[in-house]
Amino acid sequence: MLSLKRNGWRQIGRLGWLFALVLGLFGLALPAQENGSAGQAVVLKLDGAVSPATADYLIRGIEQAADDGARLIILQMDTPGGLVTSTRDINRAILNSPVPVATFVAPSGARAASAGTFILYASHLAVMAPGTSVGAATPVSLGGGGGGGLPFQDDPAADDEDANGEEGGSREGGSQAPRDAGMAKALNDAISQIRALAEIHGRNADWAESAVRDAATLTASAAVEENVADFTARNLTELLDLAHGRTVQLDGEDHVLDTENLSLVTLEPDWRTQILSVIADPNVALFLMVIGFYGIVFELLNPGALVPGTIGGISMIMGLFALSVLPFNYAGLALIGLGLALIVAEAFSPSFGILGIGGTVAIVAGGLFMFDSEVPGLEPSIPALAAIAVASLAFSLLVARLGYRVHKRRVTTGDSDLIGAQAKVQDWDETKGHVFVHGERWNARADRAFEAGEMVVVTGKTGLTLQVARQSDTATGAAGDA
């Protein structure tokens, strides 16, 4: 017995030593992992419009790089512009990042238009590849509400040459007077913001103001000459070589970059960002709203079906979430709501297609007016609107056809359905008794007597009493009338 206890304690002791060994190895692995991350430059990619999805990806990427102890964050950018709120969130993350952020406008042919100009100015290091451009940061009004904020204007040209055909010049469009007080506030706010970013990193504030006020643009080489970009680089490796030893402003203090022998690690968007980028698409948001509306309506028309209500509820919530992060026009949203209401009204009050056609026109018009076509990434898709229009019109025509067919049918309910129906006599006493018709027991009267079980025909109805007669009598009467 004593031997068994000793063996048990020995086993426990061995497990304890093994557990301590595992903890020790794990502790040794942590510094090794930190040292590996410390020798890395994390690459984030912004390819397309600045949206809530891209802002979420970049902000979380900056936070992850800082937690991993990376030495440098490289934001490779090619954007036509985007939303102000998303841009400010990105800039806030860059300015508060404990790790220097180098924005790299690449590859050749890329641009940092409108919102991209603000991101470039907010970065600790501004780098451009040959053949790229920056500028055209004038904000445009969307003319509506929503959660996305005022979008920046897209650069319609994005060329590497100015209006005179001279490479490297700024495109001067002349000062543009704001159309109203709201536009003036947005323009002045954007100017003050980009000048503040220029002062933080010692860049050209006057040209930054002209990029916002007059939509000026610069090529890569001209941007370096105008103190808008720090230098040009052909690729990421050359960027690391040229950035080594440069001094940047980090948390208000001088910070010398040490980018020698850094390994490049690209951080790709995860599933959350990919789902958000799909949902935040205006056309997808419109589809979700329409599907959600129809699903809920079908569930109300067929209680207990469950599937239409479940899909409709989920789609409606996701569509509302998408609208909460996108700027939209309330007039367009009202038109879409009116169109859906008219189509549903067609189902309850068949107008042989008039309400359905009007609802389809309202939905298409609302889709066109709901999002501003001048904002990159928020253009309404004509094929998507056409698909919604065809589906709505098909539904309206189906309801109109069913209404027309029902209108031509004989009435099968109420008094009209009882007259001429066959009934079975249950009991009879002289001129009155009871008959069974359509699964119901009725009081009945006649000018003659009947036998129980005899089949009769209903000829009239007074209150809750039916007038009945023999089938032969009704046939004779019909022949005499003829």
Q: Which residue has the higher pLDDT, 345 or 37?
A: 345
Phi, psi angle pair for 167, to nearest 5° = -70, 135
Tell me the per-residue pLDDT of 196-205, one tens digit each, with 9 for 90 and over: 999 999 999 9
205 and 290 inside one domain? no
Q: Are residues 62 and 113 in the same domain?
A: yes
pLDDT at 263 over 70: yes
108 with 39, same domain: the answer is yes
CATH number for the domain that contains residue 59? 3.90.226.10
Whether 328 shows a pLDDT value over 90: the answer reads no
Residues 231 and 114 in one domain: yes
- CATH number of the domain at 477, please: 2.40.50.140
Domain ranges, residue 116 = 35-272
Tokens of 228: 């808008």
* b/e sequence 381-403, b meaning 16+ C-beta within 10 Å: beebbeebbebbbebbbebbeeb
Q: How far apart are CA 64 and CA 260, in angstroms?
A: 21
Neighbours of 131 (CB within 10 A): 17
**Are residue 170 and residue 222 in the same domain, yes or no?**
yes
CA distance 367 to 286: 8
3-state secondary structure of 374: coil
Beta bridge partners of 154: none
Q: Are residues 43 and 123 in the same domain?
A: yes
**195 and 315 fall within a common domain:** no
- Structural domain count, the chain: 3
**Of 388, 408, 428, which closes a domain?**
408
Q: What is the pLDDT of residues 74-105, one digit of tens each?
A: 999 999 988 888 899 999 999 999 999 999 99
Whole-number mean pLDDT of the chain? Answer: 78
Cα separation, 385 vs 365, in Å, equals 9
Residue 15 falls within a domain, yes or no?
A: no
**Does 45 lie in the same domain as 105?**
yes
Rounded Cα gap, residues 457 and 437, in angstroms: 10
| Band of pLDDT at residue 32, cut at 50, 70 and 90 | very low
pLDDT at 71: 93
- Six token digits for residue 29: 């692995």
Band (pLDDT 50/70/90 cuts) for residue 288 is confident
Instruction: Give this prediction's pTM.
Output: 0.63
Same domain, 77 and 176: yes
Domain end among 272, 289, 312: 272
Looking at 213, 241, 272, which one is the last position of a domain? Answer: 272
Q: Answer whether residue 323 is part of any domain.
A: yes
| 404 and 419, same domain (yes or no) | no
Cβ atoms of residues 355 and 365 within 8 Å: no
Q: Are residues 296 and 175 in the same domain?
A: no
Give percent helix, percent strand, percent coil of the chain, each to the nearest 5: 50, 20, 30
Greater model confidence, 141 or 421: 421
Q: Which residues contact 207 (CB under 8 A, 6 or more apart)?
A: 170, 216, 218, 226, 228
Domain assignment present for residue 20? The answer is no
Asked whether residue 13 is domain-assigned, the answer is no
What is the reported pLDDT for 81?
Answer: 87
Q: Do 243 and 381 sit in the same domain of this protein?
A: no
User: Picking from 14-18, 85-89, 306-310, 386-390, which range would have the lowest pLDDT averaged per residue?
Assistant: 14-18
What separation in angstroms does the CA of 456 have from each of 410, 421, 426, 428, 451? 22, 9, 11, 12, 10
pLDDT of residue 78: 94
